Amino acid sequence: MFSNKTEFKETFLKRLEMLYGKSFSESSERDHYQTLGNMIREYVSNDWIKTNESYLAGKEKQVYYLSIEYLLGKLLRQNLINLGIEDTVQQGLHELGIDLSELEELEADAGLGNGGLGRLAACFLDSLASLNLPGHGHGIRYKHGLFEQKIVDGYQVELPEQWLRGGNVWEVRKADLAVKIPFWGKVEARTENGRLVFHHLNAETVTAVPHDMPVIGYETKTVNTLRLWNAEPSQFPFHTDILQYKRETEAISEFLYPDDTHDEGKILRLKQQYLLVSASLQSIIKTYRKQHPNMNLFHHHVCIHINDTHPVLAIPELMRILIDEEGFEWERAWHITTNTISYTNHTTLTEALEKWPIRIFQPLLPRIYMIVEEINERFCQQLWEQSPGAWERIGQLAIIADEYVKMAHLAIVGSFSVNGVAKLHTEILKTREMNQFYQLFPEKFNNKTNGIAHRRWLLKANPKLSTLISDAIGTNWATSPNDLTQLLKYQDDPSFLEQLFKIKKENKQTLADIIYSKTGTIVNTDAIFDVQVKRLHAYKRQLLNVLHIMYLYNRIKEDSSFTVVPRVFIFGAKASPGYYYAKKIIKLINTVAEKVNNDPIIGDKMKVIFLENYRVSLAEKVFPASDVSEQISTASKEASGTGNMKFMINGALTLGTLDGANIEIQELVGASNIFIYGLTAEEVLHYYQHGGYQSIEYYHHDSRIRQAVDQLVNEFFPGVHNEFEPIFDSLLEENDQYFVLKDFASYADTHKTVGETFMDQRKWQKMSLINIAHAGYFSSDRTIKEYADNIWGIKPR
């Protein structure tokens, strides 16, 4: 199509005319963006088709990754990088007077996810294609991604997100591959040819239309597919009120649920889950049937991975297809199903474990419910035979209990692999949260520590650092991230460390410019950029960070001789719209920011910045500019974290608890290259089990704590009345469930150490380099290889 910039320019101009019927001088930037996107899709189309053909011809095992979320961000530049045409395109455009980075601004973030779970799915897709692995994503094409956050008077305001407003240049709508999804109705059992068969009658059907996006591997010809399903009205619906039917149908793929922990308990959410699962299975089986005469060895050729429990209905849905449509007996269907499905657990927070009331589940999905009941009965029978009379155990393990369907139990019983996402998390699953299941099925449990697409979070997000690295150790680290360890030989090289420092400074300036343009606050790039960006949640303890900032403020105000190493505290966080407490914390951060930033006595010693609308594209600007990575969750609560890895690979030093993957970061860099503080998971879990923590004692005995906590409710913040009482109460009345006050002293001490260490710039730079050098382990390439080898059993094509 084009192999140099001259050809690129010619093709670009021709395509622009063809698509928009405009001459170049009449065309807009948006026309340019659309034209370029169109060209790239055509550029990959041949490899995309070839990849699919080779999968069909080769009959290799395929994996399908089912996820209710994909937090993709922008795709334009990553696609250009992966295709190896970034320079050609950038220069060609430049000669036409077009700035590639300005075109990038026109691309909307594809924000079809809340946070870590959705971003993990996006990173996995990149690694699957880059490793030439036969793995594809299935998800939902939400019309509106995660809400856009505005801060108004310090409060979060949510606006509907509009990523499809200008169309999505990357997708191909495949109306001919649409499938039907049945809801409601009733099930009739009949005996036909001596066999009991089930018919789903009077169902209201919805049409699911696939929209395929190419997933382009890095410097390889593999182009995999992300298939996103759109819910649309069927042509001849069984419904009395057509308009109502149309509204209800379109609502299914209208919004992403803006909550990454709580179960919303909405019919719509269950409809989304079943639509994803049923549409994906129909499409997977259609492809499979092109190569194989029957479903008997389905599990030898297909693996279906469920990202958390949201797609767990894949288990009863596959059973339904095998029994009702393919005529298998229960036992054989169960063998095939439980050898097809693998499952990742993402949390041990009990409030986040999905469960559905039978009264919602049964009428909406009558046949699926029957199958879940049967799975449950057989499972409970098995438990009974193992230990007759152990009613309590059966009640605890049952899939259906107390009028609820427990999705995690269904996932464990109906899959062949259950993995946690970091060593500690998997241990907690095995020894505590899922211990009874672990005893039943020890062979199913395994760990796959999360990873990040280092080609996005370093190669793309931090081009200057990437160039420095490639000049030093060559470019192989892009495909062999462990090569980054070769950087260790520069750890005492002053000129290398100096360049590292210079790049960090430039990236800090870029972020400082963004901060100025968004908030009007000028920040000093010599200060420590101390950053906490992630969803707002009590267990992530943004509150601990804020209380410590209030303490520093108080110290500076009281004692003019008190010296601090200047800091810019940067926050970015969306709170779930219904999460009242989290929204209070956002208001608190903004209130503290207002006070600190406008106090002349504080000046450049401290600034507090809340970055509005934290999302992938903003994150790509934040990590390269960070000095300190705040990973301060209550130990045991953060399953893995992946933000911690993105900071690390960009040379920020972790200030964190021994939680999630922080533990594995410490194992890699050594205790002297990370700032660890606070309770361990074991200590936290011991307190939860046996009690013994009284937050009020810490309030009484530590004047730093008392002063800051009192300021939440006294006249310290002018004009806010009772605003922060719920926060005050959570700490004292409710005995501080997340050990904020307990960990305060060690957090403050460790911050002091951070400051002192930063004063020794050479030492800091060396620590930073050591972190970058060891971050290759956290590439999702490593994670995906482990999934491919140890769970999925797939091989590179």
The site for ligand PLP (CB under 6 A) is made up of 115-116, 119, 534-535, 615-616, 619, 641-643, 646
Work out how close the CB of 498 gets to ligand PLP at its nearest, in angstroms, rounded to a whole number: 30
Nearer to ligand PLP, 258 or 414 (CB): 258
Candidate list 642, 654, 750, 783, residue with the active-site label: 642
Candidate list 535, 548, 567, 587, residue with the active-site label: 535
Work out how close the CB of 530 gets to ligand PLP at its nearest, in angstroms, rounded to a whole number: 15
Nearer to ligand PLP, 136 or 535 (CB): 535
Nearer to ligand PLP, 73 or 217 (CB): 73
Candidate list 77, 211, 305, 540, residue with the active-site label: 540
DSSP result, 556-588: HHH-TT-----EEEEEE----TT-HHHHHHHHH
Asked if 773 and 488 touch (Cβ cutoff 8 Å), the reply is: yes
Work out how close the CB of 222 gets to ligand PLP at its nearest, in angstroms, rounded to a whole number: 24
Nearer to ligand PLP, 376 or 613 (CB): 613
Nearer to ligand PLP, 621 or 706 (CB): 621
Asked if 403 and 362 touch (Cβ cutoff 8 Å), the reply is: no
The closest of 61, 62, 170 to 112, measured between CA atoms, is: 170
Nearer to ligand PLP, 48 or 163 (CB): 163
Work out how close the CB of 643 gets to ligand PLP at its nearest, in angstroms, rounded to a whole number: 3
Sequence-ordered list of residues with C-beta below 8 angstroms from that of 777, at least 6 positions apart, any chain: 481, 482, 664, 668
> In whole angstroms, what is the distance from residue 163 CA to residue 111 CA?
8
What is the CB neighbour count within 10 angstroms for residue 589? 25
Q: Which stretch of DSSP H or E encloses residue 441?
A: none
Nearer to ligand PLP, 248 or 260 (CB): 260
Q: Which residues pair with 404 in a beta bridge?
A: 357, 401
| DSSP three-state, residue 463 | helix
Work out how close the CB of 125 gets to ligand PLP at its nearest, in angstroms, rounded to a whole number: 14
Work out how close the CB of 751 gets to ligand PLP at its nearest, in angstroms, rounded to a whole number: 19
Work out how close the CB of 459 gets to ligand PLP at its nearest, in angstroms, rounded to a whole number: 16
Tokens encoding 774: 């060891």
For the question of residue 14 being annotated catalytic, the response is no
> In whole angstroms, what is the distance from residue 727 CA to residue 732 CA?
9
Nearer to ligand PLP, 372 or 611 (CB): 611
Q: Which residues pair with 608 in a beta bridge?
A: 569
| DSSP three-state, residue 728 | helix
Work out how close the CB of 623 gets to ligand PLP at its nearest, in angstroms, rounded to a whole number: 9
In this structure, are strands 628-631 and 653-656 parallel, antiparallel, or unpaired? parallel
Phi, psi dihedral angles at 62 (to 5 degrees): -115, 145
The runs of H, that is alpha helices, within 265-365 are 267-289, 298-301, 314-320, 330-338, 358-364
> In whole angstroms, what is the distance from residue 390 CA to residue 436 CA?
13
What is the CB neighbour count within 10 angstroms for residue 677? 19
DSSP result, 320-341: HIIIIIT---HHHHHHHHHTTE
Length of the chain: 797
Work out how close the CB of 610 gets to ligand PLP at its nearest, in angstroms, rounded to a whole number: 15
Tokens encoding 377: 């009965």
What is the CB neighbour count within 10 angstroms for residue 620? 19
Work out how close the CB of 615 gets to ligand PLP at its nearest, in angstroms, rounded to a whole number: 5
For the question of residue 262 being annotated catalytic, the response is no
> In whole angstroms, what is the distance from residue 542 CA to residue 532 CA?
8
Residue type, 4: N
| DSSP three-state, residue 440 | helix
Work out how close the CB of 540 gets to ligand PLP at its nearest, in angstroms, rounded to a whole number: 7
Candidate list 211, 584, 646, 766, residue with the active-site label: 646
For the question of residue 346 being annotated catalytic, the response is yes
Q: Which residues pair with 356 in a beta bridge?
A: 405
Nearer to ligand PLP, 409 or 637 (CB): 637
Nearer to ligand PLP, 626 or 711 (CB): 626
HEC string for 162-199: CCCCCCCCCCEECHHHCEEEEECCEEEEEEECCEEEEE
Considering only CA atoms, give the Rg of the chain: 27
What is the CB neighbour count within 10 angstroms for residue 227? 21
> In whole angstroms, what is the distance from residue 151 CA to residue 174 CA?
39
For the question of residue 221 being annotated catalytic, the response is no
Determine the longest span between alpha carbons in the chain, in angstroms.
Answer: 92
Tokens encoding 751: 């911050």
Candidate list 320, 346, 548, 766, residue with the active-site label: 346
The runs of H, that is alpha helices, within 564-659 are 580-597, 616-622, 643-649
Candidate list 534, 548, 584, 751, residue with the active-site label: 534
Positions marked catalytic: 346, 534-535, 540, 642, 646
